[in-house]
Chain A
């Protein structure tokens, strides 16, 4: 690191001061910047300083990189009201930090003249980036590590953190599909997540968002870097996930990096891919999936970190050549 790495702060829309670290050289590119989003409790630093390592690599490639603490996390102002870590993670998975991310992009645009962004993050940071990308076109691409497709808590209030307009943007692609004959065929042959579509229809009719009555999963337990949860595969699929992913992929690029030994990868395969493979295939030009062999959720070992960073940098190099 050198003196081009400096602490920064800005206020979010609720007048809470958010703190971060900006990695930026004098000749950093201004056409696109990278924002690395907090994975959850472990702030802008992330487990074993993973985000510091990522930021340094991306900075060396000429990008301006911001990693910041959303409200109630790290050094930032505000408090998290959750009673359990599962409830907290559940709230992140339905957009708790989306508005802070939009505010961070506003700040980067005003302070540094950057108006296109690559959002990156591990776990909670990845889902925050995806949800933000689905409703803000300044998000040019997503680099998601170990993105969760489930809700860690049934108590997650799916209407609390995003505005009605933002939720409508998220649902938009689904409602359009209802007019598509192929989608109806898929629906009737039970290949679609008809529970989700049913609720989307209901929402459109009632003009409000319906709370999902999902069973409460057991809280996740950190077991030496591998997040373990009860093996129930109940209805805890995040209804926002396919909507947001397809929305992003319809016009923008996404790199999803998973760790082979991470339950989040298995859940992606079982809960998303098994139901949406055909839809995902339609967007394959914009989507890339990379599996880090043998790695755990937090990429503990140096060899896994190196492999993940290599895949990330190659993808950035390919898509953002200067």
Chain B
């Protein structure tokens, strides 16, 4: 297996990516991995990397990349938006096709907001990719409120009180300022565009094969929201994987999510030619 780090252009900036390729028999399908949002990406990095390595061992070409303003990619986070993330993902798909050569299909795998981005991108793809959604963000507005709560917690820790409530923070962004979330400066276009996402509300008649995985600390039933998302696709499966929420700081050191890997690999085996 080879792993090649490289920069590739998307308009005026360069994105950083790592191409994982098997040696020997190569499948005619590849995967682009869509990373989760901001700091969640750093916590989940090794889990994503190790699954990319597993897929490469199975013969898939895999491209992991950083969105503009994230990780090692160029640009500033405050300049990023959902639009730029979608554009970066499409650029990554094109780049994988160029790098890996003769691919019949580029599939998408995403975690959290990355899964949501993968689902949106799939609607625009012509090659009916396989879609793997790990714990997708269903409602952008709720997710953005979660991000604002991080800012409120930081205010409480630093100032011992809240100087600006959530409404103030939204107003600040609308007035052209940024809001700090775990050190990332979030601007209005990013906030507004993500807050607009309603994954269930989007119309979709996609024929592609979809795996939706709910990640839970304990065994349990699928949430109603994921059930509804599952019902939107004609060829989909929803599953529950018992794992820690490895996209945030947790007590356990997490570099692999074996239950999640197993569910995903088993599903893939059922769809491999």
Give residues in A with beta carbon < 8 Å to B.
1, 5-7, 9, 17, 19, 21, 41-45, 47-50, 52, 72-75, 79-80, 82-88, 219, 221-226, 261, 294, 296, 298-302, 305
Contact = CB atoms under 8 A, between A and B. Distances in A.
B185 interface: yes
A245 to B, nearest CB: 28
A85 B255 contact: no
29 contacts: A1-B14, A5-B74, A6-B7, A19-B3, A21-B72, A41-B42, A41-B43, A44-B72, A45-B42, A45-B71, A45-B72, A47-B42, A47-B182, A48-B182, A49-B183, A52-B72, A75-B3, A75-B5, A84-B251, A85-B250, A85-B253, A87-B253, A224-B153, A224-B156, A225-B154, A226-B157, A298-B183, A299-B183, A300-B183
A197 B221 CA distance: 58
Residue among B49, B150, B252, B253 with most chain A CB within 10 A: B253
A53 to B, nearest CB: 10
Contacts of B14: 1
B153 A223 contact: yes
B241 to A, nearest CB: 20
Nearest to B154: A224
Contacts of B72: 7, 21, 44-45, 52
Interface string B135-156: 0000000000000001001101
A190 B18 CA distance: 55
A48 B158 contact: no
Interface of B: 3, 5-7, 14, 16, 18, 38-39, 42-43, 45-46, 49, 70-72, 74, 77, 150, 153-154, 156-158, 180, 182-185, 249-253, 255
Nearest to B78: A302
Contacts of B157: 223-226, 261, 296
A273 B70 CA distance: 38
Contacts of A226: 157
B71 A222 contact: no
Contacts of A43: 42, 45
Contact of A47 (B39, B74, B150): B39
Given A1-B74, A75-B3, A85 B180 contact: no
A92 to B, nearest CB: 12
Contact of A300 (B71, B74, B180, B253): B180
Nearest to B152: A224
Contacts of B255: 72, 79-80
A31 to B, nearest CB: 27
A151 to B, nearest CB: 16
Contacts of A221: 249
Given A73-B46, A83-B253, A301-B180, 20 more contacts: A1-B14, A5-B7, A6-B7, A7-B7, A19-B5, A42-B42, A48-B77, A72-B46, A75-B5, A75-B49, A85-B253, A86-B251, A222-B249, A224-B154, A224-B156, A225-B154, A294-B158, A300-B183, A301-B183, A302-B185
A300 B182 contact: yes
Contacts of A299: 183
Contacts of A301: 154, 158, 180, 183
A48 B184 contact: yes
A7 B158 contact: no
B150 A224 contact: yes
Contact of B71 (A17, A49, A83, A261): A49
A9 B5 contact: yes
A84 B253 contact: yes
A43 B6 CA distance: 17
A225 B7 contact: no
A74 B185 contact: no
B52 to A, nearest CB: 10
Nearest to A82: B253
Contacts of A9: 5
Residue among A43, A44, A300 with most chain B CB within 10 A: A300
A288 to B, nearest CB: 25
Contacts of B49: 74-75
Contacts of B71: 45, 49
Contacts of A86: 251
A225 B253 contact: no
Contacts of B156: 224
B156 to A, nearest CB: 8
Nearest to A52: B72
B249 A85 contact: yes
Question: What 7 A-B pairs come out closest when comparing CB atoms?
Answer: A48-B183, A7-B5, A224-B153, A222-B249, A300-B183, A224-B154, A82-B253
